[in-house]
Amino acid sequence: MTEYAYPDMVASPQWAADHLHDPSLRFVEVGFNSTTYDSGHLPGAVYWNWNGDILQAGSRDILGKTAVETLLSRSGIGSQTTIVLFDGFSNLLAAMALWMLKIYGHQDVRLLDGERRKWMADGRSLTTDIPTIQPTTYKAKKPDWTLRAHHDLILDGIGRANRVLVDARTEAMYKGEDAMGGTVGGHIPGAISVPAVMEMADGQFRRWLTPTVNEDGTFKTAVELHTLLSERGISPDNEVITYCVRGGLSTHLWFVLKYLLGYPEVREYDGSWAEWGNLIGVPIAVQ
């Protein structure tokens, strides 16, 4: 295993710089609000808001088919457009946006390796200019719900030898010491922990650090990723379902499993602990 299973799913900063003015490509920055985008973004990039453009406003569910078509049409994206997603939040928001776009069948969508952090660390240019967009008429494909897991599938699969749950939250959340997102703490029984770390600065949360990326935010090599997961018993021979607090960390891990390592059956449980940890009567394990 010398390279990623689908290397074109990752856009290096150099590749992105070389294609900044490619008319067949659209850069998209995803954020909780537009403050970071407004302060400077990749030339030509448009902005998508997490609440409203990825999740339905006032809901934790992803956009429906019609809303996705509206979003991509106003962003000047056609069915043949290459979309490069990034954010300033360890690419967690961008990964969930990519997952949503794959559900609705967009062919060529990628993550900017290292997100804003690597782009800026390399001294590459940003602009405050808002691009002029020529709207399209985008038609999404029939949703591919095999990429998604609902809580009933999770409940049905607990204890099954051929189904592996992967918990991407912190060790404290997994052990039940931190109930973030839920009324109770713990993990789904049988889930394997591949924990992220909450980086703090002056007592304030700064960003998530995931075990699948290097210090500069770029993805680790395929060999390193394979070792990280295989040592925990996560194998491509099983159906794998990822979950976290609200979907960001786990869609990031879903992306690694499905596109960097090429696992054939990977689903994302986007309800995650925000749903499971608030349900009545579901099993919860602590340790």
**Rounded CA gap, 97 and 47, in Å?**
12
Residue 119 is a catalytic residue = no
CA 197, distance to chain mean position in Å, is 16
Evaluate whether 66 touches 152 at the Cβ level (below 8 Å): no
Q: Structure tokens of 89?
A: 């939040």
SS3 for 247-275 is CHHHHHHHHHHHHHCCCCCEEECCCHHHH
Q: Is 123 left (phi over 0), alpha (psi -120 to 50) or beta?
A: left
Sign of CA dihedral 19, 23, 25, 30: positive
d(CA 41, CA 25) in angstroms, rounded, equals: 16
Catalytic residue among 55, 100, 244, 257: 244
If 0-12 CB within 10 Å is exposed, 13-18 middle and 19+ buried, where does residue 231 land?
Answer: exposed
Nearest-angstrom CA–CA distance, 90 and 62 = 20
Query: Which residue type, as a one-letter code, is found at position 90?
Result: S
Q: At what angle do helices 92-103 and 248-255 cross, to 10 degrees?
A: 70
Nearest alpha carbon to residue 183 among 282, 249, 92: 282
Active-site annotation, residues: 244
